[in-house]
Amino acid sequence: MSLTPLQKQALADDLVNLMERFQRYVDHHPDTYEAVITQPSSDHLVIKIQPAHDSADLIFHR
Give 33-47 pLDDT, tens digit per residue.
888 899 999 989 898
Average pLDDT of the chain, as a whole number: 84
* pLDDT, mean of residues 27-34: 84
Which DSSP symbol is given to 8?
H
Per the structure, the complete domain to which residue 32 belongs is given by: 5-51
Of residues 6 and 24, more confidence is placed in 6
- What's the pTM? 0.53
Name residue 18's amino acid.
Answer: L
Say if 39 falls within a structural domain: yes
Say if 22 falls within a structural domain: yes
Give residues with Cβ within 8 angstroms of 38, minimum separation 6: 45, 46, 48
Say if 59 falls within a structural domain: no
Of residues 15 and 61, more confidence is placed in 15
Say if 57 falls within a structural domain: no
Give the C-alpha separation, 27 to 24, whole Å. Answer: 5
Instruction: Answer for the pair 7, 28: CB distance below 8 angstroms, yes or no.
Output: no
Q: Considering its fold, how many domains does the chain have in total?
A: 1
Say if 12 falls within a structural domain: yes
Residue 6 has a pLDDT of 97
Widest Cα–Cα separation across the chain: 41
